[in-house]
Amino acid sequence: MASDHSVSTTKGSAPSWLLKGLLGLGLLVDGLLVLLLLGVVETVLKGMETSVGLYAVFAWAMALAISILAPLYGFRKWRSGQRGAALAGVWLPILGLLAGAVFAI
């Protein structure tokens, strides 16, 4: 008889410990992303004198909001049992940052 701490019973789904690990890693990286965004706020606000600087401030504010709100969405979905949506919510800001870095190069 298998215990509840083994793999999940649905065929083709990942073990719960793996999902929890991915969620925890995503939350850690999201926290680091928020710290990075807060660290560059002075540089972003210095460029506000130009019209392009206003777009930079808007983009920075949206990135900060998404980096904070997406993990909260992920927690809510995790508690309701929607594991895939929870992982997507947690990893969305990280993947967005990587995509932005690739296209900026």
Q: How far apart are CA 91 and CA 97, in angstroms?
A: 10
- The number of residues making up the chain comes to 105
What predicted TM-score, i.e. pTM, was given to this entire model?
0.71
CA-to-CA separations, 33 to 8, 11, 45, in angstroms, rounded:
31, 35, 18
Task: Provide CB contacts within 8 A for 99, sequence distance 6+.
Answer: none
Handedness of CA 48, 67, 34, 95 (dihedral sign): negative
57-89: pLDDT as tens digits: 888 888 889 889 998 998 899 899 898 899 998
The domain ranges of the chain are 26-104
pLDDT of residue 7: 43
Q: How far apart are CA 44 and CA 40, in angstroms?
A: 6
Confidence class of residue 10 from pLDDT cuts 50, 70 and 90? low
Confidence class of residue 6 from pLDDT cuts 50, 70 and 90? very low
